[in-house]
């Protein structure tokens, strides 16, 4: 895909003017240009939903990063795990404390139930972030909003990577099987729930404590491994306004998903460096971290966290990618969700003493 430039921005502005006229009054586009990356003193990441639950999980610590278990407040109701990811991010800057939700798992039952069992107060959440358009990352969102929207800030904003997040997705049932619906994040549903959308196709600061990568450049050895298919179509306010970033002949096409507007959420931890949180990393975890380094101007990588989508990777490719991660010299790597046990084992082999594991309910603390 071509890099985002001024011409794209002008096309985008025109496209969004048309979209707003069609009823997308909840949409805003983040301003292009350099960002001032804020510095935080501490960060807590609570794993609200992940693929597995380990009731025997023990505290760990590497390079000043600590993981500790989170237990259900009701011994008769366990935390629920499912294939998906939802994280509560709680950065602190001086006396300022913030809370963001990053992704929402596959079902509202998982995120709502786990928040209750972990005693998370949704009224203290300042903003919402969605990493990309896969159902296992936003499937629980509408049910979460239906339960908690009234207690949340009146000006609640969802930060999305770009229009691509709203495309219709499909998967195939087996090799060469029929297409099966894999969901579409519908901005009309967000409008009904009084949630504004901020499209972050360029790097964006959130709440004066976090920043997003914007559209991620693809310049490493990495490639997008097979996942879903995507349809570039906009009809009656549903789907994605593809026209500002793809040629006209792509209208209505269903093609392999390149996740054009997947983005990562990042923090600059005082005295430590970057914390890069990639929910799925379809565009490549090395590409993602390099993008965070470029837009922030910070070379030191403290932690690489989240899903890296290397579960389906071939052994030779996995070995290469882990070697490239090692060249970034992170203090700690924390794989989740779609990273795969194969990644964890290879990372432990190539980067001994740098890998921390987690489980649903766990809390990760940076800046102890």
Residue 271 lies in a domain: no
Q: What is the CATH number of the domain that holds 145?
A: 3.60.15
Residue 20 lies in a domain: yes
Predicted confidence (pLDDT) per residue in 15-68, tens digit: 443 343 334 445 667 766 688 999 999 999 999 999 999 999 999 999 999 999
Total count of domains within the chain: 1
207: domain range? 6-220+232-262+362-366
Distances (CA, A) of 259 to 6, 45, 54, 98, 159: 21, 25, 31, 28, 16
d(CA 289, CA 286): 5
d(CA 261, CA 69): 33
CB-CB contact of 176 with 217 (8 Å): no
182: closest CA among 268, 271, 254, 110? Answer: 254
The CA-based angle 132-279-121, given to 5 degrees, is 95
Residue 156 lies in a domain: yes
Residue 290 lies in a domain: no
Predicted confidence (pLDDT) per residue in 262-295, tens digit: 999 999 999 999 999 999 999 999 999 999 999 9
Question: pTM (2 decimals)?
Answer: 0.92
Residue 286 lies in a domain: no
Give the number of other CB atoms < 10 A from CB of residue 348: 16
Residue 317 lies in a domain: no
d(CA 78, CA 76): 7
Residue 128 lies in a domain: yes
Residues 6+ apart with CB under 8 A from 244: 8, 11, 12, 14, 15, 16, 163
106 pLDDT tier (thresholds 50, 70, 90): very high
68 by Cβ neighbours in 10 Å (0-12 / 13-18 / 19+) ranks as middle
Residue 308 lies in a domain: no
């Amino acid at each position: 895909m071509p890099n985002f430039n001024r011409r794209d921005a002008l096309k985008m502005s025109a496209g969004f003017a048309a979209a707003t006229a069609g009823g997308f009054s909840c949409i805003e586009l983040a301003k292009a240009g350099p960002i001032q990356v804020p510095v935080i003193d501490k960060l807590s990441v609570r794993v609200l939903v992940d693929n597995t639950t380990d009731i025997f999980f023990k505290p760990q610590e590497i390079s000043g990063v600590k993981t500790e278990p989170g237990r259900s407040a009701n011994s008769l109701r366990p935390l629920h795990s499912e294939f998906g990811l939802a994280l509560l991010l709680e950065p602190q800057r001086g006396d300022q404390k913030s809370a963001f939700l990053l992704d929402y798992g596959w079902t509202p039952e998982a995120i709502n139930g786990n928040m209750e069992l972990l005693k998370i107060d949704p009224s203290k959440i300042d903003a919402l972030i969605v990493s990309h358009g896969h159902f296992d990352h936003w499937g629980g969102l509408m049910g979460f909003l239906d339960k908690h929207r009234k207690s949340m800030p009146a000006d609640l904003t969802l930060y999305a990577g770009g229009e691509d997040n709203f495309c219709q997705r499909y998967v195939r049932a087996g090799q060469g099987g029929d297409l099966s619906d894999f969901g579409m994040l519908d901005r009309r549903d967000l409008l009904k729930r009084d949630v504004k959308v901020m499209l972050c196709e360029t790097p964006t600061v959130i709440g004066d404590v976090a920043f997003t990568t914007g559209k991620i450049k693809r310049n490493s050895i990495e490639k997008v491994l097979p996942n879903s298919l995507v349809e570039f179509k906009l009809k009656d306010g549903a789907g994605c306004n593809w026209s500002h970033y793809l040629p006209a002949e792509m209208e209505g096409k269903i093609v392999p998903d390149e996740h054009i507007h997947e983005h990562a959420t990042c923090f600059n931890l005082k005295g430590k460096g970057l914390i890069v949180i990639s929910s799925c990393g379809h565009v490549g975890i090395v590409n993602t971290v390099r993008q965070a380094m470029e837009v922030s101007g910070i070379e030191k990588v403290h932690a690489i966290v989240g899903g890296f989508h290397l579960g389906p990777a071939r052994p030779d490719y996995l070995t290469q990618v882990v070697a490239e991660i090692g060249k970034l010299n992170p203090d700690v790597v924390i794989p989740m969700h779609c990273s795969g046990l194969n990644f964890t084992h290879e990372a432990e082999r190539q980067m001994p003493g740098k890998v921390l594991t987690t489980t649903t309910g766990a809390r990760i603390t940076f800046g102890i």
